[in-house]
Structure 1
Amino acid sequence: MGIPGLTTFVNCNPQLTKEFPLHSTRLVIDGNSLYHFIFEDTRMDFYHGGDYDQYAFEITEFFRLLHSCNIELYVVFDGGTCNDPNDIKFQTIQKRMKQKLENAMRIASGLRGKKRVMPILAFDTFKAVLKKLSIPFAVCDFEADKEIAMLANTLNCPVLSNDSDFFIFPLTGGFISFDKVIFSLQEIKGENNSVEHFLPARLYHVDNFFPSLGKEVLPLLAALLGNDYIDKDVFKSFNDSIQSNECKTQDWKSPGDKRTLKVVLWLQGLNSYSEGIKEIISKAGSQNEKTISSALETIIETFQANVPETESSLYSYFMGKEQIGENQIRRVNGSVIPMWYLSHHRKGSLSPNCLDIITLHRKFLSPQVEDPNSLASSYQSSVNLRKYMYGILLSEDSADFETNGAWGLQANMKSVVKEFDRRGDIIISQVINPVKLETYSGKSIKLSDIPDLSRNEKKNLLRMILDIPCFNIDHMTPDLELILGLVIFWIKNSQRKVTISHMQSVLVCLIMLKVKWALMYPASIGCDKNLIEAAVFGIKTKTLKIVNEKLYKYSKYTKSRTSRVDCGLIHGFAQFQTCILATMHLNSLLLDPFPGPYIPHIFSGTFLYNFCKELHRRRDPDQFIYEMLSKNSNLIQIYQCLFDAVNKAVGPTAFRYTENRYHYSEYTPYGGKLHDGKCLPHINESVENCSMPVFLRKTRIRLKRKDQVQQMLLCTDFEL
């Protein structure tokens, strides 16, 4: 949201703000604005899909700063989209989606610019970090702006955001824009000569704008300049009729923005708020009077934020006494959404977009950097996962299904979802038929039934949806089972097949991110370690540092004017991200039968891109991986165990072959093409039921005959 030109106008007129040491106070933060701000302000990479490990670090550092200043935080996020009868908000969302697609296509095509593309897992990463840091946050039912303003007024504290709408809200504690804060700790002496820290900031207050008229006039400023809920053309004729008051222009500075200055000067010349309303309506004409009056009512209602007689729902929630039952939200058919769902929605456990699916039957698929030459978007690889999610969310909208055969699955609901996705370089809408789901016992799964299902029942449902095989591996904890399951789903369902190098890069990335985490937080993992964690935390720090040093250089990206991303390579990882996103949302909808995947431990876009590109260049990519993971550790054995598990599940035809013959699936990961396609015999069985690599002491030999295998086994020592 935002009001065009208003932020620039306020920045050009410093008399509207005052110096404010930000410390020892409560602070309400606009969560949607914040997670964008941190991504953009820290200049995070956006060419390769998102470095979520680095993003998580920057989020942590941001809240560390605020904590050092003794600030009590309340973070609030937007929920679903209100059902707007005029579809103004819908048109705004479509416009922004089109702009984001254009930016993504430009980046993928090698064109540079200032516009950035937010990675699609950034929001879920941000929420996950908040949970790890125990930062209190809430998700509103719909738009958060008014709820944020009411909460801040109840707490009598400032709001921190980059949304220019907050220049209009009557905030008793004032408004601080992100770009008006210097995020560098300063010292101040407190009581008893104690040293306290603060962040220098500038505070805006509505009373500073039009002191003589009062803050009630500010909604007129929002109406005439336009916002997400008002069509700017409604007031175009009135804006054109405004005459500039030249004698008062010296009070304000507005270089290059005569429109905002003209509206401000007109408002300043009014004698009263009611006079402004009458003048706007009188100049509208009889044909537009009804439209103008309706628009004014909408804008005035939008920016009312007085503390009601009863406490705001957000205040009650943060104080631990919310009554969810009072906030009833209805489906398209008029039935009430279950209270358990609203409770988990408010806690941020569910995707806010799911509410749009229930109430509006539509879903916007946020564009990302991928191959512009691919007609189908990366989201097509995960469409089957979304069908199951839609089936659960809309399970009580319609009972009319047609049986679809095996596995108890049924399709063709009358209630469908309209997805907005890209096709080529344009935004299109397509109708998706949800898929109904049944348990193995034949029971239909409804949204209201989910809390009553056992954890094992819900695990089995997700295993069936992802087609997760049975992994007979030591330390196969549920979190790793889900991660490997979604990796397998990604490879099997990619609309453009990925190469084996894509899979290898993902598996090495899982290890690399755990190594990095172990070095940063050596005591962070609990006793229930998965296969990777057990290996990483069992290795000496010196060895971990060696591995980290070797792999770290692939986490860097040097941008130049002539550099261009390999969009064909990136497309495979873009498909992987959509599978991660859909899997996470399905898992959370089933109330997390598996531990929710922690994205900073799964995906690092720059590393994946650089490492995969390096594998494509290598004559012997398998030996290269061995060298990177260090022969003095058991990480290579862990990698091979993961490789075997995934490779066995996807089959030999799952990958797209490259020109490099060593990438063909007929080659074993750590050996040559053998007689009848058989693999080199497994020597090391140190991880139960999991094949391990065989390495020659000094050199690699590509074998072509069975007698060569026998001769090698007799004559060669092995490093295990």
Structure 2
Amino acid sequence: MGIQGLWSLLEDRSHIYQDIRFRDSKLLVDGTNLAFFLYATSDLDQNRGGEYLAYQVQVQALFMALGDCGVKPYVVMDGGTGASDIRLNIREDRQRGLLRIAQGAALNGRRAGILPPFTTTVFEQTLNDMKVPLVRCFGEADGQLAALAREWCCPVLSGDTDFYIYDLPEGVLPLKHFLWDSWETRQNSSYIPCKRYTKASFCTFFNIDPQLLPVFASLAGNDHDCLRKIPWARFLPADCPRKWIKFPRLEGLLSWLGARTDQTAEDTLTAAMDLMPPMSQQVETEVQTEVQTEVQTAMLEYRLPSSSLRGFFTEGTAPSLPAEMLSWVPEWVRACLARGDLGADVFVHRRKILRIQVEHFDLQSSNLTSQPLRQVLYGLLLGQGGGEVEEWDRVGLELVSVKVRPLVQGTAQTLRLDSLPQADRAVRLRVCLETLGVEEETLEGVPAHLRLPVAVTCYCLNQWQACLKDASQLNLVLCMPLPEPHYAW
């Protein structure tokens, strides 16, 4: 999710970047970041349902440009919070922020970066049609993506400053400076003009020990009040004119770290705790323990594991799952998770964070209309006794969580998750149409690829995209008794 302020700090010191002509290389792509960046930076509608066909053209053009320059992309998508829930509170805050932004977009009609519901779906479907290798992680993708970039010795394409902290031999290509639509050909060789960031260049410029970068990122990214009150600006060089200082908190923290020569990360973290404002002895001990644990946990995020993605890209095998997470999930469902068709949070945490979209905030959330569809979906995935699912949605402008009971009723009672792909298609179709409240005769004469959208239209027209999103997931879990629509159309 990035380190607040770091991007602006680096843009102000752009000579940290290296200008390169990128070609003839593997490239690991932060797919979630790219999907949103491409839509947000295009002159496309964000508030009235989206312009998916024009967006698809953008996606196709970018990946065709990569191919023309001899670049082989491998795309990795986020798949939820993972097993640890380390950044759950950050996701909560982010959802609350999106609510306020979406309300502003609804009131003034301006584009505010709240992207339409099918943005990532169209992105993934387009790449699958183009045969671009794509995988969805079972948690956040950053660590796994960075680990594979280190193993393959190739750069990462992303706008997420978290990648600036990892030890990546070929560095990061920032999305803003990746000029794919201005690619050039010289001496019979095509290339993309771009900039490259490396950890070594950053550490040399700010004169800090590379092993302290995770400490920097974890302190800078922690919003605990006690850490926010540390006056980092007092550590700025005395001879540095204050009018040149634009980011006093980050620059002061970097100056302080630069003076921590020959100190371990743990020693440096302990020293940072001593800089917090004075409190009573009991409170100070409790707060220091709490904050230090938070920062240490965040630092662990920057320790690269061995990558579980190589097998998927080289052999097509789904990434392995921690036994405590999804050991009971059938293999066919794991394949859906790895392809990005399903998210893992429902299985792992019994939780679904619902999408925020631009709508009338005095009315109920459009997600409530499609809740009955999700209840059947949860019933198929978890079973009747699988426990309630916690859904996060809005009530007015408040982010709330409600418990939703999985439903297994009607024809759905004849299906089992482990053998569902082998069930008769007529039975799977009946479950889908029963849930949507549509008779099969209604779809007679409708072209196959339009039957699911038409069935959803019969179910509900005002909140159509929200319902189509959940109906498409239900159709997927039922092994597509109705053909998958071409969503960009």
Shared fold (TM-score greater than 0.5)?
yes
1:253 shift after superposition = 9.8
1:223-622 equivalence runs, <5 A: 223-226=218-221, 230-233=222-225, 235-237=227-229, 239-240=230-231, 243-247=234-238, 249=240, 255-274=245-264, 275-283=267-275, 286-305=285-304, 308=306, 312-320=307-315, 322=317, 324=319, 327-330=322-325, 336-348=328-340, 350-352=341-343, 355-374=344-363, 376-395=364-383, 397-398=385-386, 415-439=387-411, 443=414, 445-471=415-441, 476-491=446-461, 572=462, 575-601=463-489
| SS of the residue 1:439 aligns to | helix
1:175-254 equivalence runs, <5 A: 175-189=172-186, 193=187, 195-211=188-204, 213-226=208-221, 230-233=222-225, 235-237=227-229, 239-240=230-231, 243-247=234-238, 249=240
Amino acid at match of 2:390: K
Residues 431 and 278 of structure 1, relative CA distance in 2, 3 Å threshold: closer
| SS of the residue 2:440 aligns to | coil
Residues 199 and 254 of structure 1, relative CA distance in 2, 3 Å threshold: farther
Q: Distance in 1 between matches of 2:36 and 2:411?
A: 40
- Which deviates further from its counterpart, 359-368 or 44-53? 359-368
Q: Contact (CA 8 Å) 1:12, 1:253: kept in 2 or not?
A: no
1:248 shift after superposition = 7.0
1:197 shift after superposition = 1.4
Equivalent residue number for residue 121 of structure 2: 124
1:476 shift after superposition = 4.0
| TM-superposition CA deviations, 1:568-623 (whole Å, max 9, x none) | xxxx2xx000111011111111222222111112xxxxxxxxxxxxxxxxxxxxxx
Q: Distance in 2 between matches of 1:485 and 1:476?
A: 10
Whether 1:75 aligns to 2:78 is no
1:305 shift after superposition = 2.1
| SS of the residue 1:460 aligns to | helix
| SS of the residue 1:246 aligns to | coil
Residues 188 and 77 of structure 1, relative CA distance in 2, 3 Å threshold: same
Residues 241 and 46 of structure 1, relative CA distance in 2, 3 Å threshold: closer
Q: Which has the higher contact order (CA 8 A, sep 6+)?
A: 2
- Which deviates further from its counterpart, 461-470 or 195-204? 461-470
Equivalent residue number for residue 610 of structure 1: none
Q: Contact (CA 8 Å) 1:4, 1:225: kept in 2 or not?
A: yes
1:204 shift after superposition = 0.5
CA radius of gyration, larger in: 1
1:424 shift after superposition = 2.5
Aligned identity (percent) is 24
Equivalent residue number for residue 539 of structure 1: none
Query: Which of these residues, 159, 167, 170, is aligned with residue 167 of structure 2?
Result: 170
Q: Contact (CA 8 Å) 2:133, 2:313: kept in 1 or not?
A: yes
Q: Distance in 1 between matches of 2:31 and 2:301?
A: 19
Amino acid at match of 2:219: L
Whether 1:155 aligns to 2:152 is yes
Q: Contact (CA 8 Å) 1:225, 1:232: kept in 2 or not?
A: no
1:380 shift after superposition = 2.1
Residues 185 and 222 of structure 1, relative CA distance in 2, 3 Å threshold: same
Q: Contact (CA 8 Å) 2:231, 2:249: kept in 1 or not?
A: no
Residues 358 and 260 of structure 1, relative CA distance in 2, 3 Å threshold: same
Residues 323 and 160 of structure 1, relative CA distance in 2, 3 Å threshold: closer
Equivalent residue number for residue 280 of structure 2: none
Q: Distance in 1 between matches of 2:239 and 2:315?
A: 51
| SS of the residue 1:313 aligns to | coil
Equivalent residue number for residue 139 of structure 1: 136
Q: Distance in 2 between matches of 1:61 and 1:273?
A: 48
1:365 shift after superposition = 1.8
Q: Distance in 2 between matches of 1:181 and 1:327?
A: 35
Q: Contact (CA 8 Å) 1:120, 1:366: kept in 2 or not?
A: yes
Equivalent residue number for residue 683 of structure 1: none
Q: How many pairs align?
A: 478
TM (norm. structure 2) is 0.90
| SS of the residue 2:234 aligns to | coil
